[in-house]
Chain A
């Protein structure tokens, strides 16, 4: 079973920041937080991951609370192409273990 809880859906206006929350209250000390997204009819795509520090890359920023029980994925300037299902996953620091997908958050970016 997925170890994370995410809202079922969210809307965001185009050009605004999209903030996607995730609760992972049972995360263990050596587990990372990963975010993937799935655009309609495509395979999931890696976005970002982190352990306890905030992380940023060209796609997004990841903010992890100090107690590591929750995190927020931030898309700074959402575009229509960011409309997708976003999955928050916790797991070891390795892409070599199976990903356990929950239901994710369906983000709709609205013009």
Chain B
């Protein structure tokens, strides 16, 4: 398996522009997580899905952030409008409930977002 795939790997945009980050989870995984990492706040959860349904979005910082999972193999995180303080590395992770419950989250390589 190719692992969790994220695109783009790097994104530079100007303040006010719309940004869309993409994630393809590992095939067969039914949980998908979006995390954000900054120097100041470390790694923090934004939102997670189970079977394409959002379970907890309390970590989404503002209404400017939205996430969707239209099917089991694709999720997007959108920021509109973007602001310089959104600059961070955004990670997508997936996991499987499976018969044994599972214990490992598999992380993608991240998208480094810079908003100027």
Q: Which residues of A come within 8 Å of B, CB atoms?
A: 32, 34, 41-46, 49, 87, 93-96, 98-103
Contact = CB atoms under 8 A, between A and B. Distances in A.
B53 to A, nearest CB: 13
A99 B105 contact: yes
A94 B56 contact: no
Contacts of A32: 103
A44 B35 CA distance: 11
Given A98-B45, A98-B56, A101-B43, A43 B91 contact: yes
B96 interface: yes
A95 to B, nearest CB: 4
Interface string B78-100: 00000000000001010111000
6 contacts: A44-B91, A93-B103, A96-B97, A98-B56, A99-B35, A101-B43
A94 B102 contact: yes
Contacts of B106: 46
A96 B50 contact: yes
B91 A96 contact: no
A95 B102 contact: yes
A96 B102 contact: yes
Contacts of A41: 110
A43 B109 contact: yes
A49 B103 contact: yes
Interface in B15-54: 31, 33, 35, 42-45, 48, 50
B101 interface: yes
A101 B102 contact: no
